[in-house]
């Protein structure tokens, strides 16, 4: 249906000729999957069009993928709703707590839930290639789809919804797909706010309510809740300044202001709505002692004002106090009047009303919508998400060197000190939870942690409360992680925080850079070993250790299904706590739709509970340690033989669109850490993004084939059957291979004039595919994932169309003698195809 409406819109816009050209290319790329002659015909078709027509065709395929993604999202949400009506789904919290109670008993289950923490962190370097205007236009199309699918709609309403649907698709077609200015950090902040406003603020209490019902269905909503508020959200958006000079201390302060504005507006609206609805009379529901005391104090402090309140809500003390809370929330937002200094103050006021209602014989009012609001306050605080600051260890080292030498501080050092003062000021206004975690990227030793604490003392004013978190990103640093954590215990600021937090510490493990450094298989094994060593260290030292997983959306950056990733962690490392980055297009894919967001968070929470129980803490990894060493060494040798070949970085720049991508206005963060052209300077995100645009997905599988080739097939099959880490790793590689297109990739590789490197890459792809199929026992890729396999096969030819258009654009951009007008059109065509390929592949970076 959506495709038909898009066809009408295209024809209305560009006439039958444009629609014919789109259809000609569509049929040609489908035929090209079976015969090389059609591949050459496809190239000829694409080359024959004026660049303006090529842009229009690229727009058509890009908008098509936006609509396909929307249709799939709506289908998933509909299926989830239908399944929910048939009882608890597998991997839901309701199903998981029932199973855990059966195995471990009620008392142990409640202990587990009291320890549960799931902590997604939205990051500041997205690969979300769509403009916000495009996202909004897609959302409007979705609203009309909902109206069409609503069984309560009349025929007239459906006709109007269909008319509006076509109108919104027309608007999407006419909306500019490309950004005209560089994205700023605050643009990224505002983009993320949509997820909180439109999804998470509503979904979070629904998750808690579902869990509460599962724990006590007979009296749910009539008693104090059994479900704890186990979700916490964090953000690096506006706080991550590693290699991004655009993120200043002013940006960080503005970020918290924006976040708080959204949170406080939501709390103000919810409190006002609930206050107006709770009209229970003092005669039927007498207020409790604490509420009477608070009301008396308010009356004494402002008798005239409170007389007006009592006049509007006579004999309705609960309503009066709730509307007073709404006024305080408003004052917190505007800075005028009596503001809340922390979320704990807000929660205390809400609980006062709740206790009074319950004591007055109105448990439904006490534990209904009011409980939802309390859960939201416990989860989001006054600031929506904790803003985490990240900076590179080398920046801190330079700052300390300057200060110790008595030099005038450089701009970089001034910003470090200003950032620390800003954190202190934000904590004074919103409480320490607003911005407490400080990530040190490329931590090499304990001095990198001590530097932040020393700088905080020298920043001026009262130092902020900080939990400085080491981020280990290279294989060498991962191996040293436990040793560095041990050294951290010798730092006085760390010991003071341990006393305050019940001996809690956090460590971050970087997936992206380790994978770029040594390849997917050795990096996965190094991360697993680091988790194992850190878990043992924490047990020895009595530390409550949270491991923060810096995973990307793409498979080459630790991506893949999050719930399966949880189960594949080293035994004992989860311990009822799971913290993970959510990056790029994954944020909107997982949290843009309410039903999908709820399912995702429940699956992750369920996996955390299951992975943390004693029954699952066996150690298959120890049994396969020799195998892991064998295949890891072979995979590392193959990967390094490729990336350490003389001229590899220059070849990669020619065969990939990485240099062109670095000029895109996708994110505020530069593609390179420095202005150099070495491979080490290139960030992991554009590295993965470029390979995905080439349709090769090399970071997700390269070296794996050689690694598997070094071991006996029987041993590999045993590991696949009984070791979750190995099973998940191969399944993710299988997905990455399925999304690779060898034919299209070969055309990109031919741009490099290094047939030796091109042949090596394609040979490793063939070897990896052969060995993965042999180990899994599958006859074709994604054989056990019928729906996903069908979706990939259906999408691939349409992505091919965009890849051919992208190759044309790249050749034009790199050709000598190209006029400024031709270059401008070629750049537009290139950027359109990047958007389209990203939409078609879905997990890009």
Active site residue 392: no
Alpha carbons 143 and 145: distance in angstroms, whole number = 5
Within 13 Å of residue 388, how many CA atoms lie on the same side as its CB?
Answer: 29
Contacts for 146 with CB less than 8 Å, ≥ 6 apart: 74
Q: Could you please report the per-residue DSSP string of 406-471?
A: TPPPPHHHHHHHHHHHHHHHHHHHH-GGGS-EEEEET--SHHHHHHHHHHHHHSSSSPPP-EEEEE
Which of the residues 383, 516, 600, 804 is marked catalytic?
Answer: 516
Q: Phi and psi (nearest 5°) for 438? A: -125, 110
Longest distance between any two alpha carbons in the chain, whole Å:
88
Long-range Cβ pairs for the range 347-350 (8 Å, 24+): 347/374, 347/377, 347/378, 349/294, 349/321, 349/325, 350/325, 350/374, 350/377
Q: DSSP string covering 179-192, please?
A: -SSPPPHHHHHHHH
* Active-site residue, 516 included: yes
Rounded to the nearest 5 degrees, what angle is found at the Cα of 31, between the Cα atoms of 29 and 33? 75
Distance CA 681, CA 674 (A): 6
H or E stretch covering 391: strand 389-392
Contact 511, 558 (CB under 8 A): yes
Buried b (16+ CB within 10 A) or exposed e, 249-280: bebbbebbbbbbebbbebbbebbbebbeebeb
Q: For residues 157 and 725, what is the distance between their CA atoms, to the nearest angstrom? A: 51
Tokens representing 484 are 């560095």
327 SS3 class: helix
Q: What is the dihedral of CA 491, 496, 500, 502, to 10 degrees?
A: 40
For residue 145, give the nearest of 61, 81, 67 by alpha carbon. 67
CA distance 589 to 841: 12
Distance between CA atoms of residues 763 and 298, nearest Å: 77
SS (H, E, C) 68-107: HHHHHHHHHHHHHHHHHCCCCCCCCHHHHHHHHHHHHCHH
For 538, residues 6+ apart whose C-beta sits below 8 A from its C-beta are 505, 544, 545
Task: Please give, one letter per residue, the 3-state secondary structure of 631-674.
Answer: HHHHHHHHHHHHHCCCCHHHHHHHHCCHHHHCCCCCCCCCCECC
Spatial contact of 710 and 630, defined as CB atoms under 8 Å apart: yes
What are the residues whose beta carbons fall under 8 Å from the beta carbon of 213, sequence distance 6 or more? 94, 220
Q: Which two tokens stand for residue 428?
A: 């004074």
At 295 the three-state DSSP class reads helix
Contact 757, 645 (CB under 8 A): yes
Contacts of 274 (CB under 8 A, 6+ apart): 322, 369, 370, 373
The helix, strand and coil proportions of the chain, stated in percent and rounded to the nearest 5, come to 70, 5, 25
Question: Of the residues 66, 74, 125, 324, which is catalytic?
Answer: 125
Locate tokens 């408003």: which residue? 330
Task: Evaluate whether 117 touches 576 at the Cβ level (below 8 Å).
Answer: yes
Question: 305: helix, coil or strand?
Answer: helix
Provide the 10 A C-beta neighbour count for residue 362: 17
Catalytic center residues = 125, 516
């Amino acid at each position: 249906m959506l495709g038909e409406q898009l066809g009408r819109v295209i024809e209305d816009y560009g006439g039958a000729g444009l629609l014919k050209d789109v259809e000609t290319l569509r049929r040609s790329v489908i035929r090209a999957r079976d015969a090389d002659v059609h591949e050459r015909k496809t190239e000829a078709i694409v080359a024959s069009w004026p660049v303006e027509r090529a842009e229009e065709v690229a727009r058509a395929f890009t908008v098509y993928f936006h609509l396909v993604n929307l249709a799939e999202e709506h289908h998933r949400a509909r299926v989830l709703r239908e399944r929910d009506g048939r009882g608890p789904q597998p991997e839901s919290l309701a199903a998981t707590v029932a199973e855990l109670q059966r195995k471990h008993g009620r008392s142990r289950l409640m202990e587990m839930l009291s320890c549960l923490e799931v902590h997604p962190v939205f990051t500041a370097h997205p690969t979300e290639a769509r403009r916000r205007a495009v996202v909004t236009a897609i959302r409007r199309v979705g609203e009309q789809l909902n109206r069409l699918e609503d069984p309560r709609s009349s025929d007239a309403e459906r006709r109007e919804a269909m008319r509006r649907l076509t109108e919104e698709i027309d608007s999407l077609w006419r909306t500019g797909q490309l950004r005209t200015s560089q994205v700023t950090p605050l643009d990224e902040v505002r983009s993320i706010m949509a997820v909180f406003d439109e999804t998470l603020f509503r979904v979070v209490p629904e998750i808690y309510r579902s869990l509460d019902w599962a724990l006590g269905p007979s009296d749910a909503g009539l008693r104090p809740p059994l479900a704890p508020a186990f979700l916490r959200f964090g953000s690096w958006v506006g706080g991550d300044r590693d290699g991004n000079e655009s993120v200043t201390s002013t940006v960080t302060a503005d970020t918290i202001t924006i976040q708080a504005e959204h949170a406080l507006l939501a709390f103000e609206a919810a409190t006002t709505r609930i206050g107006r609805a709770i009209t229970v009379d003092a005669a039927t529901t007498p207020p409790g002692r604490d509420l009477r005391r608070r009301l008396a104090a308010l009356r004494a402090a402002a008798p005239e004002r409170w007389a007006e309140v009592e006049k509007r809500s006579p004999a309705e003390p609960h309503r009066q106090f709730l509307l007073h809370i709404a006024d305080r929330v408003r004052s917190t937002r505007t800075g005028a009047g009596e503001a809340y200094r922390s979320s704990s103050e807000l929660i205390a006021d809400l609980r006062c009303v709740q206790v009074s209602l319950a004591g007055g014989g109105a448990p439904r009012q006490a534990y209904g919508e009011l409980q939802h609001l309390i859960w939201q306050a416990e989860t989001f605080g006054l600031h929506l998400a904790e803003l985490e600051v990240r900076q590179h260890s080398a920046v801190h080292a330079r700052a300390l060197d300057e200060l110790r030498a008595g030099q005038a501080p450089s701009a970089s050092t001034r910003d470090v000190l200003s950032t620390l003062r800003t954190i202190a000021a934000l904590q004074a206004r919103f409480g320490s939870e607003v911005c407490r975690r400080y990530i040190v990227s490329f931590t090499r030793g304990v001095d990198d942690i001590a530097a932040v604490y020393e700088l905080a003392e020298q920043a001026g004013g009262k130092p902020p409360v900080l939990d400085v978190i080491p981020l280990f990103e290279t294989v060498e640093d991962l191996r040293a992680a436990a040793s560095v954590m041990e050294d951290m215990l010798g730092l006085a600021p760390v010991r003071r925080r341990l006393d305050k937090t019940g001996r809690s510490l956090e460590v971050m493990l970087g997936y992206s850079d380790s994978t770029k450094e040594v390849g997917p298989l050795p990096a996965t094994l190094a991360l697993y070993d680091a988790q194992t060593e850190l878990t043992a260290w924490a047990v020895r030292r009595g530390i409550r250790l949270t491991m923060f997983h810096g995973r990307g959306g793409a498979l080459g950056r630790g991506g893949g299904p999050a719930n399966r990733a949880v189960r594949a962690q080293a035994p004992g490392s989860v311990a009822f706590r799971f913290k993970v980055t959510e990056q790029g297009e994954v944020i909107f894919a997982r949290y843009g739709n309410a039903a999908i967001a709820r399912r995702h968070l429940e699956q992750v929470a369920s996996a955390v509970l299951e992975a943390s129980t004693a029954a699952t803490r066996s150690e298959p990894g120890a049994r396969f340690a020799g195998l892991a060493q064998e295949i890891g060494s072979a995979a590392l040798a193959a990967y390094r033989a490729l990336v350490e070949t003389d001229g590899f970085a220059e070849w990669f720049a020619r065969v990939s669109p990485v240099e062109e991508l670095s000029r895109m206005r996708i994110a505020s963060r530069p593609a390179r850490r420095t202005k150099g052209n070495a491979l080490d300077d290139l960030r992991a995100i554009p590295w993965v993004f470029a390979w995905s645009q080439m349709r090769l997905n090399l970071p997700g599988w390269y070296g794996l084939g050689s690694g598997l080739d070094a071991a006996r097939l029987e041993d590999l099959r045993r590991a696949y059957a009984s070791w979750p880490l190995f099973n998940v790793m191969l399944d993710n590689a299988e997905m990455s291979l399925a999304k690779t297109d060898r034919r299209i990739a070969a055309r990109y590789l031919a741009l490099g004039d290094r047939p030796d490197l091109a042949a090596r890459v394609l040979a490793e792809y063939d070897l990896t595919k052969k060995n993965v199929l042999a180990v899994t026992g599958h006859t074709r890729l994604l054989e056990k994932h019928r729906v996903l396999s069908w979706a990939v096969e259906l999408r691939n030819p349409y992505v091919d169309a965009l890849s051919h258009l992208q190759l044309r654009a790249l050749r034009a951009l790199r050709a000598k003698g190209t006029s400024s007008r031709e270059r401008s059109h070629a750049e537009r065509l290139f950027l359109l195809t990047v958007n389209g390929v990203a939409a078609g592949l879905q997990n890009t970076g």
